[in-house]
Homo-oligomer: A and B are copies of this chain.
Amino acid sequence: MKILLFTAVAALFLGMAGNGRAADPEVRRDKPALRHVVAFKFKADAKQERIDSVVKAFAALPGKIREIARFEWGTNNSPEGHNKGCTHCFTLTFHSEKDRDIYLPHPAHKEFVALVGPLVEDVFVIDYWVK
């Protein structure tokens, strides 16, 4: 019973720590920032509620993968027409390439990729260290 309680409290604490990190609106200035920019072009027949579930699932990853230092997203409103059909953009921040290397094959990320895969026609990804 004590072990169960400890596990529950530890899980709660880790979850809060994860959310706290992810919810922080800006990266800490004293840490390097590796941006991971992901844009999706959804298939024409992708239903809005499934697109919404993709956004929700992506936004849940920072709570599951503690290496994600920051997460933000939004929908395209560029008037320039160079978005190649992509409507949704997500920018994740890591503090190291090692953290990104943990994220990419992480089971929670793999699960997300399996969810989004059938819905997208195209994906654009670019990563860069903020110079």
Interface set of A (CB-CB < 8 Å, partner B): 25-27, 29, 34-37, 39, 72-80, 82-84, 86, 89, 91, 97, 104, 123-131
Having A35-B89, A77-B97, one finds 8 other A-B pairs with CB under 8 Å, namely A35-B91, A75-B128, A75-B129, A76-B126, A77-B127, A77-B128, A82-B124, A91-B91
Instruction: Point out the residues of chain B lying under 8 angstroms from A37, CB to CB.
Output: 37, 89, 91
Q: A35-B89, A37-B89 are in contact. Are A77 and B129 (CB under 8 A)?
A: yes
**Total identical chains:** 2
The 8 Å CB contact of A129, one of B39, B74, B84, is B74
Q: Is the CB of B125 within 8 A of A78?
A: yes
- CB distance B35 to A29 under 8 Å? no
Could you tell me the distance between the alpha carbons of A83 and B77 in the complex, rounded to whole angstroms?
A: 21
Q: List 24 A-B contacts (CB under 8 A).
A: A34-B77, A35-B72, A35-B74, A35-B89, A35-B91, A37-B37, A73-B128, A73-B130, A74-B129, A74-B131, A76-B127, A77-B97, A77-B129, A78-B125, A78-B126, A79-B104, A80-B125, A80-B127, A82-B124, A84-B124, A86-B126, A89-B126, A91-B91, A124-B124
